[in-house]
Amino acid sequence: MNTGQQTEQPIVQAGADKAPRVTPFEVEAQIRSEFYFTASDGVLGESQMGTRPAAWTNLDQFTICVLILRNGTKVVGVNEGPVSRENFSAEIGRQYARQKAVDQIWPMLGYELRTKLATG
């Protein structure tokens, strides 16, 4: 996974950090709480509709991350899991799902910054 430091280092080295911009640290600062669960957590046992997922669906490998931001906005990231069950890692699934959720925060903060710059 790409960390904020890995993202920032080449930007700073290139001198491309002089103007206002959104940083990985600002993105992380927006996250108030985070939750992880699998699709199988969502369908434990038989649902109220009487449906039951087939055993081959591997819903326990389908990882969902919900990030709640400081202003209450919720973003969701999903990792569908590997093709082969043998390659599944719950920790990696959570990392990829989180990254997909975090990727949605960047455009929101970019829009907010552009609005401030345009009206400031």
Is residue 80 one of the residues assigned to a domain?
Answer: yes
Is residue 25 one of the residues assigned to a domain?
Answer: no
Mean pLDDT, rounded, of the chain: 86
Is residue 5 one of the residues assigned to a domain?
Answer: no
State the burial class of residue 31 (Cβ atoms within 10 Å of its Cβ: 0-12, 13-18, 19+).
middle
Strand ranges across the sheet with 31-38: 31-38, 63-69, 74-79
Is residue 8 one of the residues assigned to a domain?
Answer: no
Is residue 16 one of the residues assigned to a domain?
Answer: no
Is residue 92 one of the residues assigned to a domain?
Answer: yes
Q: What is the pLDDT of residues 17-61, one digit of tens each?
A: 788 999 999 999 999 999 999 888 777 655 655 666 565 578 889
pTM of the entire structure? 0.82
Residue 106 lies in domain: 31-43+57-120
Contacts of 91 (CB under 8 A, 6+ apart): none
Is residue 65 one of the residues assigned to a domain?
Answer: yes
The H-assigned helical ranges of the chain are 4-13, 24-29, 39-42, 90-102, 105-119
Q: How many domains does the chain have?
A: 1
Distance CA 12, CA 102 (A): 21
User: How confident is residue 91, by pLDDT bands cut at 50, 70 and 90?
Assistant: very high
Pick the closest to residue 91 from 36, 54, 43 (CA basis).
36
Is residue 104 one of the residues assigned to a domain?
Answer: yes
